[in-house]
Amino acid sequence: MGKTFAEKVLAKKSGQAEVVPGQIVIVEPEHLLTHDNTSAIIGKIGGEIKQYGVARPDMPIIVLDHVIPAVDEKTATNHFKIREYVKANKLPHFYDIGQGICHQVVVEKGLARPGDILVGSDSHTCMYGAVGAFCTGIDRTEAAALILMGKTWLRVPDTIKMTLTGTLQPGVTAKDLVLHIIGDIGADGANYQAVEFHGNIGALSIDDRLVIANMGIEMGAKIAVFPVDDKTRKWLAAAGLKESEYEAVWADPDAKYIRELTYDLSKIVPVVAAPHKVDNVKPVSELEGIPINQFLLGTCTNGRLSDLELAADILDGHKVAEGSRFLVLPASKEIYEAALDKGVIARLSRAGALVLPPGCGPCLGAHQGCLAPGEKCLSTSNRNFKGRMGCKDAEIYLASPATVAASAITGTLTDPRKVLSGVSK
């Protein structure tokens, strides 16, 4: 009988001929991602690291991105301790502040190879499924144990097969597609399960796939994975990974799925996830006119060059509405510099955007761009939970970069297709 992607990877990595859903396997992940939380993680095992050392120094990837630059003595001390730990243990994969958001850095540096297992003490670790990796989130304690042991357990998941047909219409993006799917199956629609994307994958760019895989956790998925195709191979080559350096894995045509769903991309419309749940998804057209105080373009979901370019194209010839503020955070230094070279940053800035350094910024409410009670934010990020952006009495709406840019012009929630068709010009 055929096997799913997850069954194949977990069998191979646990050294077994085959595995079945529900089975517990022991694996040695190629990489363990941690970020600013590295400080809390190593704080749990300081003595043991000294005594036993780091099990596999090439395993940890550490990226400082959540609260950067440090906002106070406490966060500065966290960063300091992490740098000392990296030096003392000679860890090769360390990226200091300003390099970008951890998940973007991992894929850009070619650290997420197709068929590899990566775990990270951050729920959006699932993003590298876009390039065919098996990757999932864990907690800080498990990260600490991994530093010492170099291995962990995983339960072989059941898999949902999602087949995509058609192509997206102008003004509609991968963000609208993934929000539509989450609205359809619910925030726990794929809990404990893997999600495989099949069908007209070629219609989606790697940036599109990264958006979709990133949001896998918002439907509860353990992994959300795409097959490796020519687009992936080309993208990985640009990231420095030769085809000979990885072994892509994909499901057999007769693999057994727990559920099969089909989505026609041509039927997707611009949508928002209204407060306070990511599966509270509605067409933008139903909520048009809601006044917005803050716009946010960025995060590990939608801070890539194509997102910034799309927003700049929509904002061209317009200004951010008076009384609103528009924050832009490129997802990485590489993206920031490409956007500088192409003039995208200048276009966004001249339209009224405030460009912040590459990092997580306002998304988690720890600093930068927090909201006041009663305020509303329209954001390209991945979570609209109560209190998420620092204030439990504020509201967050999630949307695509196109919807955020179009709405920034009017200061109210606006269907981007209207701006693109010149209706509001």
Partner 1 sequence: MRIWKYGDDINTDMLFPGKYTYTAATAEEIKPHLLEDLDAEFAGNVHEGDLLFAGKNFGCGSSREQPVVGLKAVGVQAIVAKGFARIFYRAAINQGLLLVECPEAVDAYKDGDEVKLDAKAGILEVAGKQYTFPKLPPEILAIRDAGGLLPYTMAKLQARK
Residues sharing a CB contact under 8 Å with residue 320, sequence separation 6 or more, in sequence order: 295, 326, 351, 352, 353, 408, 409
* Of the residues 220, 303, 358, 359, which one makes contact with partner 1 according to CB under 8 A: 220
Q: Which residue has the tokens 């001390």?
A: 77
CB atoms within 10 A of CB 378: 28
Q: Which region holds residue 15: left if phi is over 0, alpha if psi is between -120 and 50, else beta?
A: left
168 vs 281 by CB, closer to partner 1: 281
User: Does the protein bind partner 1 through residue 60 (CB under 8 A)?
Assistant: no
Residue among 43 and 166 whose Cβ is closer to partner 1: 43
Which region among 98-106, 134-142, 281-289, 299-307 touches partner 1 (by CB under 8 A)?
A: 134-142
145 is an interface residue for partner 1 by CB under 8 A: yes
> Closer to partner 1 at the Cβ: 157 or 330?
157
Per residue in 104-127, is it b (16+ CB within 10 Å) or e — as a string? bbbbbbbbbbbbbbbbbbbbbbbb
CB of 170 to partner 1, least distance (A): 33
CB of 98 to partner 1, least distance (A): 17
Per CB under 8 A, 103 contacts partner 1: no
Of 191 and 262, which has the nearer Cβ to partner 1? Answer: 191
Choices 9-17, 226-234, 362-370, 371-379; region in contact with partner 1 by CB under 8 A: 362-370
Decide if 399 contacts 175 (C-beta within 8 A): yes
Q: Give me the count of residues in the chain.
A: 425
Pick from 50, 92, 141, 243 the residue near partner 1 by CB under 8 A: 141
Choose between 365 and 401: whose C-beta lies nearer to partner 1.
365
Write down the least CB distance from residue 52 to partner 1, Å.
Answer: 6
Q: Which of 237, 387, 424, 425 binds partner 1 (CB under 8 A)?
A: 387
For position 293 contacting partner 1 by CB under 8 A, the verdict is no
Contact between 3 and partner 1 per CB under 8 A: no
Cα first-last separation, the chain: 57
Regarding beta strands 281-283 and 152-155, do their DSSP bridges make them parallel or antiparallel, or are they unpaired?
unpaired
Q: Measured from the CB atom, is 383 or 417 closer to partner 1?
A: 383
- The residue (of 104 and 152) whose beta carbon lies closer to partner 1 is 152
Q: Is the N-terminal amide bond of 276 cis, ω within 30° of 0? A: yes
Q: Least distance from C-beta 48 to partner 1, angstroms?
A: 7
Give the residue, chosen from 48, 229, 288, 375, that forms a contact with partner 1 under the rule CB under 8 A: 48
- Asked if 50 interacts with partner 1 (CB under 8 A), we say no
Q: How far is the CB of 116 from partner 1 (least distance, A)?
A: 20
Positions 150 through 189 that interact with partner 1 (CB under 8 A): 153, 187-188
Interacting positions 110-129 with partner 1 (CB under 8 A): 121-123
Task: Name the minimum Å distance from CB 295 to partner 1.
Answer: 20
- In this complex, which beta carbon is closest to partner 1, that of residue 218 or of residue 334? 218
Pairing of strands 395-398, 159-165: unpaired
Which residues of this chain interact with partner 1, rule CB under 8 A? 24, 36-37, 39-40, 43-45, 48, 52, 66-67, 74-75, 78, 121-123, 137-142, 144-145, 148-149, 153, 187-188, 191-192, 217, 220, 222, 277, 279, 364-366, 370, 383, 385-388, 390, 392
